[in-house]
Amino acid sequence: MAELYPWQVPLWQQLAGRRQHAHAYLLQGPAGIGKRILAESLMAHLLCSARSGLDACGQCKSCQLLAAGTHPDSFVLEPEEADKPIKIDQVRELVDFVVQTAQLGGRKVVLLEPAEAMNLNAANALLKSLEEPSGDTVLLLISHQPSRLLPTIRSRCVQQSCPLPGEEQSLSWLAQTLPELSEEGRTELLTLASGSPLAAQRLHEQGVREQRAQVVDGVKKLLKQQVAPSQLAESWNALPLNLLFDWFCEWAQLILRYQLTHDESGLGLTDMRKVVQYLADKTPQPRVLAIQEWLLGQRQKVLGKANLNRVLLLEALLVQWASLPGPG
Ligand SMILES: [Zn+2]
């Protein structure tokens, strides 16, 4: 079984150490901090028949079946395709599972992730299982965005917040995980991942720092008119659109903030500080507000996976960005 992350140990002791278990838990917190591993560990803990201490033994029949993915009393429910909704038929299967008797004579455990992927019908179907819990079943719900859940779902679970680990703890974990990076590189990565250490690791695997360097270099050339918007848009063909929009949204926000505060400590990562400062000095504020509004609108479409012509979209972005500085 995968090991817990160091920042989860206190939470684990609190959860697994409970004298009596609730019928349903809601593990909630930002993505990229290991909620799934916590839930899987709890599932193993609840199913193990030879536990000593908090951790599952790893040896008993239950542990072996779970490791093989064939435990008859465990049920994992997630979208059939990533980022797609959980279907009502899937929840109906779960409801059937909950009313059955445990085949190994112990508990039954359900893991559902992410809970916000249930639409209203699916959520209502699940509510029945939450309202009339079957004695030996524990439901583990994971949510990255608990505000999107029905209040009735939330209120029927023991809500367990899983906060972001502190920066120091995240950096020390990253130092062990990515020793090949410099300390500055790891700090930058963690900032790019909004403080989430696992997201930072994933971004690193995707080559995010190289991608960022490519984008920053392109933006600088664009402002010096060394490259045309259309050319730059083409050259960014392999870059993830959501990252690009995240970065441009952030830069627009930093420009505005600097215009309002002139606080040099609020200029963001070093790679764009001078550019942000330059654009803040040269761009009339209404123009920054306009591009920010446009960026936020487009970002919603990107996140919603709307069918977009990415080269045209990027070109539109870059044409506007290139014309930021100048007289109002
Ligand atoms: Zn065991």
**Residue 114: Cβ within 10 Å count:** 22
85-138, pLDDT tens digit by residue?
A: 999 999 999 999 998 999 998 999 999 999 999 999 999 999 988 887 777 899
Distance CA 79, CA 30 (A): 19
> Per-residue pLDDT for 82 more than 90?
no
Per CATH, the homologous superfamily of domain 6-161 is: P-loop containing nucleotide triphosphate hydrolases (3.40.50.300)
Domain with CATH 3.40.50.300 in the chain: 6-161
| pLDDT tier, 1 (very low <50, low <70, confident <90, very high otherwise) | low
12-44, pLDDT tens digit by residue?
A: 999 999 989 999 999 999 988 999 999 999 999
Closest CA to 1 of 69, 52, 99, 91: 69
172-223, pLDDT tens digit by residue?
A: 999 999 999 999 889 989 988 889 999 999 999 999 989 999 999 999 999 9
Expressed in angstroms and rounded, the spacing between residue 129 Cα and the centre of ligand 1 is: 27
Question: What's the average model confidence in pLDDT over 57-70?
Answer: 95
Distance CA 121, CA 87 (A): 9
Bridge partners (DSSP) of residue 161 are: 28
Expressed in angstroms and rounded, the spacing between residue 28 Cα and the centre of ligand 1 is: 27
45-58, pLDDT tens digit by residue?
A: 999 999 888 999 99
179-188, pLDDT tens digit by residue?
A: 999 998 899 8
Expressed in angstroms and rounded, the spacing between residue 189 Cα and the centre of ligand 1 is: 38
Distance CA 88, CA 224 (A): 54
- Residue 268, both tokens: 């963001």
Residues with CB under 5 Å of ion ligand 1 are: 48, 50, 56-57, 60, 63
pTM recorded for the entire structure = 0.78
Expressed in angstroms and rounded, the spacing between residue 109 Cα and the centre of ligand 1 is: 14
Expressed in angstroms and rounded, the spacing between residue 39 Cα and the centre of ligand 1 is: 16
Integer angstrom CA distances of residue 250 from 109, 111, 242, 312: 41, 35, 12, 21
**Residue 115: Cβ within 10 Å count:** 28
DSSP 264: G
End-to-end CA distance of the chain: 60
Expressed in angstroms and rounded, the spacing between residue 48 Cα and the centre of ligand 1 is: 4
Expressed in angstroms and rounded, the spacing between residue 52 Cα and the centre of ligand 1 is: 9
